[in-house]
Amino acid sequence: MERIQIRPLKTLEEFRACERLQLEVWGSLAVGAELLSVTQKYGGAVLGAVARGRVVGFIYAFLARRHGRLIHWSHMMAVEEGFRDRGLGLRMKLAHRRRALAQGLRSIMWTYDPLQSRNAALNLGRLGARVVEFIPNCYGRFPSAIERGLESDRFVVDWRIASRAVARRLREGPPRNSAGGRWPVVNETRRDAQGFLVNARLDLNLRAPRLRVEIPASTDAMRAQELPLARRWRLESRRIFQHYLAAGYRVADFLPPSDETGGKCFYIVRRE
Ligand SMILES: CC(C)(COP(=O)(O)OP(=O)(O)OC[C@H]1O[C@@H](n2cnc3c(N)ncnc32)[C@H](O)[C@@H]1OP(=O)(O)O)[C@@H](O)C(=O)NCCC(=O)NCCS
């Protein structure tokens, strides 16, 4: 298999390649080459996945402050479509962790869409980041190709890169279904005529110490073919998370789709 290098990006040409990737992945440009280059020089991080001299993925993070402490805010990560699911996202995050630790930082934060199961699998399952906030319609109606027509709900995650819990998660890998298979499910689901996952019933009266919340294993086709259903998922998942977070639960982990789960995937929410 082709060798792909993960390294800090340096040249204007490489930063221009990040602009191209943004246009391909989101359909709009958020951060231009000039800003990428100054961020790289003055305390932030711009890391790339480079295949034969071509940038096929990047992370962009700037220095920020939270609760009085310096952190990296990782505003963007993208991998070119044909290079996904080969561990490049994970490798870039691990390289970012090493670099941030070397800079004396203890935390990297970012937001992601709770209905993007690939991101959930990587952020919570693999990396052991913690969800610290849920923000409905965080960026308004995002001008992004990924979310066109949807409100931009986001989880804010805090990846405590120096913590023992994160070191353990990186060593041991994502949780197994056996760890969560028995907990009650908040949303009963079924398939509609097109085969898309639909919520059949929501239960907002559960009180078990841990609960599961199912999300679709992918919403790409749903967003393209059944936008009203994708909107319904947006609103129903918002209702679930807002309700249970207000009731004292926190989003604790993510079970990726597997044979054990019958291809389903679940957030695990835990009462604090
Ligand atoms: C998010 C993104 C950067 C991940 O990059 P990647 O190189 O594909 O990531 P990895 O291969 O390291 O990890 C993906 C994980 O998701 C898993 N996965 C793939 N499809 C999945 C699905 N439908 N549901 C759940 N998990 C899934 C993979 O198996 C892998 O987990 P594993 O390593 O435990 O097997 C890439 O998908 C992307 O560019 N997405 C569009 C932009 C975006 O959403 N950016 C992040 C927010 S700013």
Percent of the chain with pLDDT over 90: 88
Phi and psi, residue 157, nearest 5°: -115, 145
Q: Tell me which residue of 42, 40, 43 sits closest to 105, measured CA to CA.
A: 43
Q: How confident is the model at residue 179 (pLDDT cuts 50, 70, 90)?
A: low
Distance 256 CA to ligand 1 centre (A): 11
Between 218 and 63, the more confident residue is 63
pLDDT tens figures, 129-156 = 999 999 999 998 776 778 888 999 999 9
Tokens 């390294």 sit on residue: 7
Task: Give CA–CA dist 117/121, Å, rounded.
Answer: 6
Distance 115 CA to ligand 1 centre (A): 12
Q: How confident is the model at residue 38 (pLDDT cuts 50, 70, 90)?
A: very high
Task: Give CA–CA dist 260/14, Å, rounded.
Answer: 42
Tokens 């989003």 sit on residue: 251
Atom 42 in ligand 1: which residue has the minimum CA distance? 78
Average pLDDT (53-72) is 97
Helices and strands (DSSP H and E) totals, the chain: 7, 12
pTM over 0.75: yes
Give residue 74's pLDDT: 98
Query: What are the pocket residues of ligand 1 if the criterion is a CB atom closer than 6 Å to any ligand atom?
Result: 25, 76-79, 84-90, 112, 116-119, 121-122, 126, 174, 217-218, 256-257, 265
Residue 60 has pLDDT above 80, yes or no: yes
Distance 119 CA to ligand 1 centre (A): 5
The distance of Cα 29 from the centroid of its chain, to the nearest Å, equals: 19
Task: Give CA–CA dist 90/63, Å, rounded.
Answer: 21
Give residue 53's pLDDT: 95
Give residue 72's pLDDT: 98
Q: Tell me which residue of 67, 66, 116, 106 sits closest to 219, measured CA to CA.
A: 116
Distance 111 CA to ligand 1 centre (A): 14
How do strand 69-79 and strand 154-159 relate by DSSP bridges? unpaired
Q: How confident is the model at residue 261 (pLDDT cuts 50, 70, 90)?
A: confident
Give residue 269's pLDDT: 97
Q: How confident is the model at residue 245 (pLDDT cuts 50, 70, 90)?
A: very high
Residue 98 has pLDDT above 70, yes or no: yes
Residue 128 has pLDDT above 70, yes or no: yes
Average pLDDT (243-269) is 94
Residue 178 has pLDDT above 70, yes or no: no
Inter-residue contact 97 to 159 (CB < 8 Å): yes
The CA-atom distances, in angstroms, between 113 and each of 73, 212, 218, 233, 237 are 16, 18, 12, 12, 11
Give residue 175's pLDDT: 84
Residues with Cβ within 8 Å of residue 220, at least 6 apart in sequence: none
Q: How confident is the model at residue 176 (pLDDT cuts 50, 70, 90)?
A: confident
Q: What is the mean pLDDT of the chain?
A: 95
Task: Give CA–CA dist 49/4, Å, rounded.
Answer: 6
The residue length of the chain stands at 272
